[in-house]
Chains A and B, each alone.
Chain A
Amino acid sequence: MTDVSTERAITVTVNGVARGTTVPVRRLLSDALRHDLELTGTHVGCEHGVCGACTVLVDGTPVRSCLVLAVQVDGKAVTTVEGLARDDGRGGEILHPVQEAFRECHALQCGFCTPGFLMTMAAGLEARDASTDITEEEVDEIVGGNLCRCTGYANIKKACRHAAGLMKEAAR
């Protein structure tokens, strides 16, 4: 019979590294990442699934980390914004195309919502056929679930189109 627990030891592969920690079962994934694993790149905005700032990838799929319990990702792979750039093999990092595009297009101001946008956009763009030009409808669908209070979204959408272009180039 399965026990009812109030605390659990979990192992999660975070950005490619297996991490073990013990958490109260009520711990949200967002809080486990920030407090228990000290990965503060994931930002917590509304804490009820509306703003999208806390979006991370679980087994490659974007989810709101404030709407998942840490115990529910035991044995799974989580990617946070800290894991988005690639190691260049010489002690540095190569930015993901969406990070490159955000920098290029000035798609952030205060930066609070940025980690959520980056994770959502990276997954959204990787899920589509990179060889085709992105449509406005696709851009709206990708960024529509995240809130930004600074930019007015114009540059974020521009970054999404630019990143899609970079990925199209890379796919050639």
Chain B
Amino acid sequence: MKPAPFGYADPTSLDEALTLLAEDGAKVLAGGQSLLPLLSMRLASPATLVDINRIPGLDSVAVSGAGVRVGALVRHADLLHHAEAARVQPLLARATANVAHPAIRNRGTTVGSIAHADPSGEMTSVLALTGGSVTVATPGGPQTVDWADFFVGPLETSVHGPAVVTEAFFPALPPRSGTAFEEVSRRKGDYAVCGAGVTVTLDEDSRVTAARAAYISVGLVPEVHDLTEAVAGRTVAEADWAAAGALARTLVDPDGDLHASADYRRLLVGVLTERTLARAAEEAASR
């Protein structure tokens, strides 16, 4: 269980990094909490690792009324404890609390986990649910890629050639809205068997105008499911969250694996949807 030999470079500018990444078999190393296990198990053997940890300017969380910009070197733990970011978009802290364990969160980066595009990753689905985007540095200049155009398949994004994802942008939670996030895992901090993130928006009379969900470890790429029709126009007290859960079950297409059958995952989608929507609606009503 040792990585195969590779070359290592730790450039101090994005331009240098992009030049190094133009070589065949070069791969970005940020937090390394997904990449290093892949190297040790020899599921990946890049020719060169381009470590971006010494590049200045990539480690900040910028919060504005529009949303939260998270730099490529911001660790999950930084985002989890960022009170201002949590105020503007509460899903960030709620989801990062479910990312592995403290020692992993201290090192792993939020943007790296998005670029890794693992369907069992929390932050890919949060990017989708919030309608976010990423900024990608390329030799031709920075590009902004909407979440829906970014995720192509498991561990696969639309970004090719020399590129570094430098930032993720999570739009702010709209007014009169609430969120919730919950996972079921075999052990605390393990990959989720199934997870759900939701947002609920109310009108001025506290009636539901929008209910949306994105799931973890369900499907090949993050997807946002609109569940509004099951609860639209109802007050928080009247809304039939179980009906929204039942609707969600018909919309998802989970796979079965060693840890859970497809049917069990679909069941969990229903249960987690009902629970999280009810909590998010309560929160929306109290904001």
Contact, CB under 8 Å: A6 / B8: yes
| Interface flag for A64 (CB, 8 Å) | yes
* Complex interface: chain B residues within 8 A of A64 (CB): 33, 103-104, 107
**A124 x B102 contact (CB < 8 A):** yes
B 175-203 to A, binary, CB cutoff 8 A, 1 in contact else 0: 00000000000011100000000000000
How many A-B contacts at CB < 8 Å in the complex?
A: 105
Bound Cα distance from A170 to B16, whole angstroms? 50
Q: How far is the CB of A2 from chain B (nearest CB, A)?
A: 4
With A4-B48, A66-B40 as known contacts, state yes or no: A120 contacts B103, CB within 8 Å.
yes
| A interface, over-half SS | mixed
Determine whether the beta carbon of B5 is less than 8 Å from that of A68: no
Chain A 1-59 residues near chain B, CB threshold 8 A? 1-6, 8, 24-26, 28, 31, 47-49, 52, 55
- Is B1 in contact with A1, judged by CB distance below 8 angstroms? no
Residue of B whose beta carbon sits closest to that of A61: B106
Residues of B within 8 A of A2 (CB): 9-12, 16, 20
Do A26 and B100 have beta carbons less than 8 Å apart? no
Interface check B3, CB cutoff 8 A = yes
- Is A67 positioned at the interface, with any CB of B under 8 Å from its CB? yes
B36 at the A interface (CB under 8 A): yes
Does the CB pair B102–A69 fall under 8 Å? no
- A62 interface hit (Cβ, 8 Å): yes
CB within 8 Å for A26 and B5 given contacts A2-B10, A72-B51: yes
Q: How far is the CA of A28 from the CA of B41 in the complex (A)?
A: 13
- Could you say which of B19, B20, B36 contacts A66, with CB atoms under 8 Å apart? B36
CB B280 to nearest CB in A, in angstroms, measures 22
Q: Is A69's CB under 8 angstroms from B8's CB?
A: yes
What's the tally of chain A residues with a CB closer than 8 Å to chain B? 35
Q: Are B32 and A47 in contact (CB under 8 A)?
A: no
B6 touches A26 (CB 8 A): yes
Among B10, B16, B51, B106, the residue within 8 A (CB) of A62 is B106
Which residues of chain B have C-beta atoms less than 8 A from A26's C-beta? 2-6, 8, 39
With an 8 A cutoff between CB atoms, is A63 at the interface? Answer: yes
What is the interface of chain A, defined by CB distance below 8 A to chain B? 1-6, 8, 24-26, 28, 31, 47-49, 52, 55, 61-64, 66-69, 71-72, 120, 124, 140-142, 144-146
